[in-house]
Structure 1
Amino acid sequence: MKRATLFSIVFAVFFLHGCIEEIDFETETFESALVVEATITNKTKLQTITLSRTFQFEEDGPSAETNATVLVSDSMGNEYSFEETDVPGVYQSTTTFSAQLDRDYELSIITANGRTYGSNPTALESTTQIDDLYAERETNESGELGVSIFVDSNNSTEEGTYYRFEYEETYKIVSQYFTDKDLEVVTYSPPEVKLVPKNREEFTCYNTVPSTAILLANTNTLSEDRLSRFPVRFLSRENPKISTRYSLLVKQLVISRDAYVFYETLKNFSDSGSLFSQVQPGFISGNLFSTTNENENVIGFFEVAAVSSKRIFFNYSDYFTPQDGSLPLFVEDCDLKRPRLQSLVNLIGSGGAKFVAEPSEPGNEEIGFGPYLIAPKPCVDCTVFGTNVVPDFWEE
């Protein structure tokens, strides 16, 4: 949703990066608009709604809309209240609930300054399941060798269906060097270090990243309501995320035609390649509105969707061999060095390098003559790229 509010900023950044002379921009006119990210699903859970505000070009990012009153109601008279979590602007339902097929849902918001907002009635569309999620070795249109991940889905109804896909990728990170010891600075002057036992896991880590792409599909033009080989993700063989083990969680949301049109418009605009593109809608209208001021813009879409999810795991070796090329690495330059003691103390103290081993051979001009072999921190400590806590869902 935020991409709808930031399109001019994104395009401006892309444009400015290509300029030779740096130009300072300031926003001359600005409307602080409420941004709503709200998807209620048919899964029984604590539902989540996020509220924020648009921000000006010269600001760092959006500000959270805090202390709001958030309520979802249905046409059967049920009401579900939301409370702000520890994360500013993120609201969670006070009870678990799920969207049902036989009713409409509406969202209402009262902000801390007393302004009120609402949504058009929105209903849950037909439910469907992901039949299969699978990966294949493939060369893409740009000639890159990699892995493509596809979804197959089938809806039992005869009507065309609109889909939106989200994914969350998790990948394993293995440091290039393993050691169970660390160097610790004793004093800077005179320079002195000592070896100590490593006090945390730094060899194997994991990182989880949500998708930012807008992935849409529909079956209106097909002879049956079936998606076959819908491409969700392509990963180049040279992408370090797949260098060891990789997992992708795909969520398929069955959405309304109005929601599809909203996201399609947003996607088409977001994919535009120039700040001065001829396609500049300025404001992308959703199903949200201000009940305080009919002229006030509200950005976002209140979505009620049927969701299905599936997860896949694979190893680099499942699709590639040494003949395909060297293993992709998170850090290319991991050469070992043996700096003199003063330089060693400075590097260890600043956190720029980590201990690898005690040398077993004489030093030389290339690596140095210092007392220990060291490497850049990212080559030894995987927590630079992720967490050393194994995800609950992880499978080897």
Structure 2
Amino acid sequence: MRNRIVVLACLAILASCLDPYIPPIKPGDVNILVIDGSLDATDGTASVVLSRAVTLDQPDEFPSVRGAFVAIEDGNGNTYPLVEGDSGTYKIAAVPIDDKAHYRLHVITSARDEYYSEFVDPLPTPEIDSITYIVDESKLTVRVNTHDDSNQAKYFRWTFDETWNYHAGLLSQYIVIGKGQLRFRTPDEMIYYCWNTKPSYDIVATSTTRLSKSVVSQFPVQYITAGSLKLQMRYSILLKQRTISEDEYEYLEQLRKTTESIGGLFDPQPTAVTGNINRVMPASPVALGYFSVGRTTSKRFYINASDLPKVYREIYPPLGCIPPDTVCGMAGNGCAMTIADLRPGDILGTAAVKGYVLTSTRCADCRVEGGVTTKPDFWED
């Protein structure tokens, strides 16, 4: 999971009517390396993302760090280099896992700044017992249940991929192939039904240290507002669970509190988020991040729109999807256009009494909302 790291300026506000203060921090003044990496001890896959911290006025810009040497080392002296991909992401597919071994991350940037994480032990993770959901008038909450009979797992973290099946506002059955020429769409050309998949970015973790037994009951992992396109037809969540150490849990809690709230006059001031990654030379930029190792368990869960209250099934066409016009077969029927006026790229819906429904891409192409028309291999109808 890539977490947003921004530089926060703590300001003492003496009166509520002061003009806003913009901290005099320029993007070039921020030189902090952000390292987000993990090794999945279940299958030996690892992913590390390197980027730079940004100022508050650059919330959507995260400069990637390319050309770095990134490797995982074990306590036996073995080194496993990762391969660089897109956007500062480095990956490896098969690190040999020894549950009794220790692992650490080693990074050398193109500027020769060098970093090591602390050695981390793989932790066993219990299975997910079940996934449930509850609804109220405004939102649906996905919840998880798990437990550890050995009472060893005390800290848990969840990430997930969510996929939803939805459809466009209007059905387009025809393609305009030339001036005044149209034909039916083939099955592969239909753009009415789509599937969209997104990973989680929020920090979702909890602790059972205050309980006599390690039991997680009905813990919320995701919220979906009523009327969301995610719940138009069918929704699926692939929930991934991992036991984490106390140190990682404390790091995630600090990070969550710092990134989720800028802070008001009476809010706790942000604390330093450090992690377990250290620079070799003091002159190198500070590194923020945590390298973790653990086994992952997962479970997929589906929610059908037909099982939800009516308010969740009232999904309206996208904003700007106006009522369609009609294209007549011939002039003189009170239509603004005839088939002869059509050009390639015009979107036709279904056949109408006078001719055909003329609409827009935003109304009739489900891909506008970011999805694809190919059903995922795992999808169950």
Structure 2-normalised TM-score? 0.83
**1:375 aligned partner:** 359
Shift of 1:130: 0.7
Matched, 1:336 2:321: no
Equivalent runs, 1:133-144 vs 2, <5 Å: 133-136=131-134, 138-139=135-136, 143-144=137-138
Count of aligned positions: 361
Matched, 1:123 2:121: yes
Aligned counterparts of 1:8 and 1:246: Cα–Cα separation in 2: 36
**Offset from partner CA, 1:336-387 (integer Å, 9 cap, x none):** 2237349x969x77x6x621134314xxxxxxxxx64222323211111211
Aligned counterparts of 2:293 and 2:217: Cα–Cα separation in 1: 24
**1:64 aligned partner:** 64
**Offset from partner CA, 1:264-304 (integer Å, 9 cap, x none):** 01111222254777544374111111112267310111111
**2:377 aligned partner:** 392
Matched, 1:210 2:199: yes
**Offset from partner CA, 1:209-246 (integer Å, 9 cap, x none):** 11121111111001101111111123233222111011
Percent of aligned positions with the same letter in both sequences? Answer: 23
Work out which of the residue numbers 290, 293, 315 in structure 2 matches 1:304. 293
Q: Extract unaligned runs of 5+ from structure 1.
A: 12-19, 187-192, 362-370
Residue type of the partner of 1:383? R
Q: Secondary structure at the match of 2:30?
A: coil
Shift of 1:123: 1.3
Matched, 1:355 2:348: yes
**2:39 aligned partner:** 40
Residue type of the partner of 2:254? T
Aligned counterparts of 2:349 and 2:151: Cα–Cα separation in 1: 62
Shift in alpha-carbon separation, 1:241–1:4, aligned structure 2, 3 A = closer
Shift in alpha-carbon separation, 1:165–1:379, aligned structure 2, 3 A = same
Contact 1:4–1:284 (8 Å) recurs in 2? no
Equivalent runs, 1:198-277 vs 2, <5 Å: 198=185, 200-272=189-261, 274=263
Compare 53-62 and 303-312 and name the one that shifted more. 53-62
Structure 1-normalised TM-score? 0.80
Aligned counterparts of 1:283 and 1:148: Cα–Cα separation in 2: 31
Aligned counterparts of 1:267 and 1:24: Cα–Cα separation in 2: 22
Shift in alpha-carbon separation, 1:249–1:325, aligned structure 2, 3 A = closer
Shift of 1:157: 1.7
Aligned counterparts of 1:291 and 1:196: Cα–Cα separation in 2: 66
Compare 58-67 and 216-225 and name the one that shifted more. 58-67
Q: Secondary structure at the match of 2:82?
A: strand
Shift of 1:4: 5.1
**Offset from partner CA, 1:125-182 (integer Å, 9 cap, x none):** 232111112234x22xxx52x4322211111222451111111110001123323312
* Backbone CA RMSD of aligned residues: 3.3
Q: Secondary structure at the match of 1:267?
A: helix
Matched, 1:195 2:179: no
Contact 1:172–1:244 (8 Å) recurs in 2? yes
Shift in alpha-carbon separation, 1:204–1:101, aligned structure 2, 3 A = same
Shift of 1:256: 0.8
